[in-house]
Copies of this chain bind each other. A is one copy, B any other.
Amino acid sequence: MKENELVFRLATRSDLPSIVRMLADDDLGSQRERNENPLPESYYSAFEQIDNDPNHELIVAERKGEVIGTLHLMFLPSVSFQGGLRSQVESVRVDKRFQSQGIGSEMMKWSMERAKQRGAHVLQLTSHKTRVDAHRFYERLGFKGSHLGMKLNLK
């Protein structure tokens, strides 16, 4: 294994504090997460659902044994596109201390390969309109910003 190699694996329960720390560590995330010790139970119950569903893969990226990135890859069976399987990625984060080193790009390329391996015809994501740098990053990887992503708050 090369010294700086990223290792991708399914997250375990004990990775949750690292994952939530990364989710909470930006302007949008800080408003909606509760990065506390111990973590609120709701994070653990969501983890159990994700972990028990083979169509969900909560992933961590490790370097030298340290978790420095996370993403949530999901596979969505669909009637449209001739019954084509979609993949979707949410909650992509790289630890702020290690940004701008190509880690996000490696994580997305891993996701693309994994999605192809499972037979998905598309990898989709939405990114907040204010995350302009992220849009450019995804475009460099081949994504097209063809859609408007709309959300309705139900609470």
Contacts and interface: CB of A to CB of B under 8 A. Distances in A.
A149 interface: yes
Given A80-B90, A91-B80, A126-B126, A149 B152 contact: no
Contacts of A154: 87, 112, 115-116, 120-123
Residue of A32, A145, A150 with most partner-chain B CB within 10 A: A150
Interface residue range, chain A: 35 or more
Q: Give the number of copies in the complex.
A: 2
Contacts of A81: 32-33
A101 interface: no
**Chain A residues touching B, majority SS:** mixed
Interface string A133-155: 00100110111111111111111
Interface in A9-56: 16, 19-20, 23, 29, 32-34, 40, 42-47, 49-50, 53, 55-56
Interface of A: 16, 19-20, 23, 29, 32-34, 40, 42-47, 49-50, 53, 55-56, 58, 72, 74, 76-85, 87, 90-91, 112, 115-116, 120-129, 135, 138-139, 141-155
7 contacts: A32-B81, A34-B82, A42-B83, A46-B83, A55-B55, A135-B148, A141-B152
